[in-house]
Structure 1
Amino acid sequence: MGYIREFYERFIKLEEPEWRFIAAHFQKQVFQKQEHIIDLGETENYLSFIESGLVRFYIPGDEREWTFHFNFHKEFTGAYDSFLTRTPATYRLQALSETMLWRISYEDLQEVYTHTRAGNFLGRFIAERMFLTCARRTIDLVRYNATERYLQLLKEEPRVLQQVPLKYVASYIGITPQALSRIRRQIS
């Protein structure tokens, strides 16, 4: 759980009793490679911190899947809209490698919010960060063509290209794997 404390303390100093209270509400869970963390139609009951591993967000389809987000180690993850609204998820979260999560339930998170200033602060910070990520992704999809989106990814998120299979990278930038191969050939 040291990574979670490290994450918190990048933003706010934790007193030991406050940290013990927060830490007591998290539980560890490991997902195997390709295992679904949450499936389509399930309500997200946990906000999770990735100690190790990689998580893909995607919408399944009859002909192809649409990948729209990734989370890496030392990041929070989850179907946050489902978590907040207590409604079924309209997409899946999948572990792309063995993934160790520290998870806090919706009810326990409400208790942490109520009883700690750090929990409240971090909750707001995570919500704001998720909103900004979503807004930026939407703007990038509208503003840039596939080659520009790939170049943006190369520049701003090289770990996606280093750790994610290319078929998911192609889906993430909205093209086929064959089109991604052409783009990669053209720019190299």
Structure 2
Amino acid sequence: MEELKKFIFKIYPMNNSDWDFFSSKLQQVTLKKHTNLIKIGETENYLSFISEGIIRFYIPFEEHDLTFGFLFKNEFVTAYDSFISQNPSQYQIETLTTTTLWRISFTDLQEVYNKTESGNYIGRIMAENMFLIKSKREISLLNQSAEERYLNLFEERPKLLKQIPLKYIASYIGVTPQALSRIRKRIT
């Protein structure tokens, strides 16, 4: 839980009573590799902090999945649109490795927002950061070639390329595994 406390205190240092209240609502869970956090049609009930592990966001299709996001240690994970609307998710989230999470339920988070000084501020900053990440991804898909997206990924998140199967990386940048192989040959 210490990593989570450090992460939150970088955004805004909570007073002791706020931290105690917030942390009392957290639950630690450890999940095996390839465990679904949420499936299509389920409603997201948790906001989770990744203490250990790697997570993938995707839409499953018969021939191949469409991967559109990865998260790592010291990042938050949730099907955020489902979480805030309390409507069913249109995508799935799964662990790619054994993963340990600290999570808080939707109901408990609302209570934190209502009963603490800093909860709303921290929640707003985190929501703004999620929006910026999503916007950057959408713009890259519209304005960059697959090769540019791959190079940016390599520059921004080099550990991603070492820890994630290439078929998921290919899907993430919007190409087939064969096209990714050609890109990789061309740039090395």
Query: Which runs of structure 2 are paired with 1:93-172 in the superposition (5 Å)?
Result: 93-172=93-172
Match for residue 70 of structure 1? 70
1:156: how far off? 1.4
Counterpart of 2:113, as a letter, is Y
Q: Distance in 2 between matches of 1:153 and 1:2?
A: 29
1:78-132 deviations in Å (ceiling 9; x for gaps): 1000000101100000000000011100000000001112211111011101111
Please provide the CA RMSD for this pair: 0.8
Match for residue 43 of structure 1? 43
1:13: how far off? 1.6
Unaligned runs of 5+ in 2: none
Q: Distance in 2 between matches of 1:147 and 1:169?
A: 12
- The count of aligned residue pairs is 188
Q: Distance in 2 between matches of 1:62 and 1:85?
A: 28
Counterpart of 2:13, as a letter, is K
Structure 2-normalised TM-score? Answer: 0.97
Q: Distance in 2 between matches of 1:80 and 1:10?
A: 21
Q: Are 2:36 and 1:7 aligned?
A: no
1:159: how far off? 2.0
Question: Secondary structure, in 3 states, of the residue corresponding to 2:120?
Answer: helix
Structure 1-normalised TM-score? Answer: 0.97
Counterpart of 1:170, as a letter, is A
Which aligned runs of 4 or more in structure 1 are off by greater than 4 angstroms?
Answer: none
Match for residue 180 of structure 2? 180
Counterpart of 2:168, as a letter, is Y
Question: Secondary structure, in 3 states, of the residue corresponding to 2:11?
Answer: coil
Identity %: 49
1:63: how far off? 1.6
Counterpart of 1:128, as a letter, is E
Q: Are 2:80 and 1:80 aligned?
A: yes
1:123-163 deviations in Å (ceiling 9; x for gaps): 10111011111111000001011111101111112121122
Counterpart of 2:106, as a letter, is Y
